[in-house]
Amino acid sequence: MKIAIGSDHAGVELKAHIISFLEKEGVQVFDKGPVSEKSVDYPDYAKQVVGAIQDEEAEYGILICGTGIGMSIACNRYDFIRGALVRSALEAKLSREHNDANILCLGARITPEDQALECVKVFLETSFSQEERHIRRLDKLGCGCCEI
Ligand code: RB5
């Protein structure tokens, strides 16, 4: 599995923990930055992770900012992206099963590290349900990914 990950300054520390967790699990991780906690703008890093998915460098993305809200707004402006702002393992599971989310958005200032890692684990081990009603709903979003 190939994952692209990015953050803003508020998410750098959590990003490092997630990368270390994923690498131990044998996941290939593309770190799109930033490398320091110097203030940056979250849309710039959302764009990098989106680009990795659109170019098929990665299958899924993870985006982290302080709340996760900025990153979820930013990534959902692009074609082929279904970003889900997730706070719990249940939301991580349902975002994959029902929404076929391809970017997990996390809020480093909201969600404790152990909970965030659980969200990552569940997100990556859960598949889209492939149920017709969910495919139909995704198709209505016009995100460019789905065919009935
Ligand atoms: C940065 O201070 C903060 O605004 C940002 O990380 C994010 O929470 C925006 O949605």
CATH code where residue 51 lies: 3.40.1400.10
Closest of 30, 29, 53 to residue 103, by C-alpha? 53
7 within a domain of the structure (yes/no): yes
Torsion of CA 27, 28, 32, 35, to 10 degrees: 70
**Tokens encoding 134:** 């969910």
Residue among 56, 67, 61, 29 nearest 45 (CA): 61
Cβ 64 under 6 angstroms from ligand 1: no
Do the domain assignments include residue 61? yes
Question: What is the count of structural domains for the chain?
Answer: 1
Ligand 1, atom 6: closest residue by C-alpha? 66
Question: Which residue, by CA, sits nearest to atom 10 of ligand 1?
Answer: 70
Length of the chain: 148
Regarding the beta carbon of 45 and ligand 1, being less than 6 Å apart is answered no
Per-residue tens of pLDDT for the chain, all 148 residues: 999 999 999 999 999 999 999 999 999 999 999 999 999 999 999 999 999 999 999 999 999 999 999 999 999 999 999 999 999 999 999 999 999 999 999 999 999 999 999 999 999 999 999 999 999 999 999 876 654 4
62: nearest Cα among 100, 94, 99, 30: 30
Ligand 1 and 69: CB distance under 6 A: yes
User: Quick check: is 113 in a domain?
Assistant: yes
| Domain span including residue 60 | 2-141
